[in-house]
Amino acid sequence: MKKHNFYAGPSILPQFTIEETAKAVTNFAGTGLSIMEVSHRSKEVVAVMSEAQQLFKELLNIPDGYQVLFLGGGASTQFMMIPFNLLQKKAAYLVTGGWASKAAKEAKLFGEVVEVASSKDANFNYIPKGYTIPSDADYFHITTNNTLYGTEIRTDFDVNMPLVADMSSDIFSRPIDVSKYSLIYGGAQKNLAPAGITFIIVKEDILGKVDRAIPTMLDYRTHIDKESMFNTPPVLPLFAALQTLRWLKNNGGIGAMEKVNIEKAQLLYNEIDRNKLFKGTVSNPEDRSLMNICFVMNEEYAELEKEFLEFATSKGMTGIKGHRSVGGFRASTYNALPKESVEALVAVMKEFESKK
């Protein structure tokens, strides 16, 4: 039976990435050695780093003045590293979910944090609008996609200060205007690579403006100067990330990804809205995520939740159980998930409905 992988992260990767990485585990770049046992200073690994940075810039059309870094520590380390490098007196945060809340919490260790708006009052089921950002903030932080709650910001904001964005779960899912951001970051384990590597796109001219001393490993300038090789990078996830970047380019780039992502999401949202058993958890349809589609049983069918999960699992649907803070179900439809998997899930929902 075919498995359809809807896990939120670590999550589905292109088959190309898996196969090429598997080959490199046994024989990397014709060296006769595993990617897991060669020096990060070798010319073969340096070439991997260089190509990955170049493809990042090419696929996202990153303008001059920005650097692409690949570091360890996950996006959670960036929650601290960003204010360490950028927060002099005050920062503004838009709180749209659990990860945004954690980012704001860490920033409070370094200065004043203004939460310009929050959707916590409704269990983060919408994206706040109509708020005011303090004009004297050192930067404004957003989380573009919320994996737990199924909301997404799909526009590039225009703000009169450095804009910082956590794009862990929707990077490469749609074209973005990088010039509107000063720093974009994310863990790779949702739309790029296995867990273990973190990407950062940083505009160089925002650095070096805080008074505090920054430990060497936590200073972005350290990693820019050493081209992400100040210490040993996570080499295996880096290699896998390069394969995904090649796959993205070979499959038409980010515009092509967005087209398919819209088709996949619309297919599933249409079924959620049509099917008498289910309802979406996001209050405003325009806030619905294209990457993490959350839904629950309608109230009158709530007792069927466990039965549907077991039924769907028996049909090969993997990883659709919703996060404990939301309940219900979550189908993560990242770039690598084929449309056929969404069609299979929709068929399962229709079949289950027909039995009730």
205 lies in the same domain as 275 = no
199 lies in the same domain as 114 = yes
166 lies in the same domain as 27 = yes
195 lies in the same domain as 280 = no
Instruction: Give the residue numbers marked as catalytic.
Output: 99, 166, 190
268 lies in the same domain as 169 = no
The CATH number that applies at residue 302 is: 3.90.1150.10
Strands 66-71 and 198-203: antiparallel
Residue-range definition of the domain harbouring residue 340? 4-11+253-354
- Nearby residues of 233 by Cβ (< 8 Å), 6 or more positions away: 40, 49, 70, 71, 72, 197
pLDDT at 1: 85
pLDDT tens profile 114-138? 999 999 999 999 999 999 999 999 9
75 lies in the same domain as 140 = yes
pLDDT at 45: 97
CB 333 within 8 A of CB 290: yes
pTM above threshold 0.85: yes
pLDDT tens profile 71-115? 999 999 999 999 999 999 999 999 999 999 999 999 999 999 999
CA–CA dist 351, 356 (Å, integer): 9
CB 149 within 8 A of CB 123: yes
* Mean predicted lDDT score pLDDT of the chain: 97
pLDDT tens profile 191-226? 999 999 999 999 999 999 999 999 999 999 999 999
148 lies in the same domain as 264 = no
pLDDT at 325: 84
CA–CA dist 265, 342 (Å, integer): 8
Boundary residue ending a domain (250, 274, 294): 250
In percent, how much of the chain has pLDDT > 90? Answer: 98
Tally of structural domains, the chain: 2
Q: 344 pLDDT exceeds 90?
A: yes
CA–CA dist 70, 322 (Å, integer): 30
pLDDT at 356: 80
73 lies in the same domain as 56 = yes
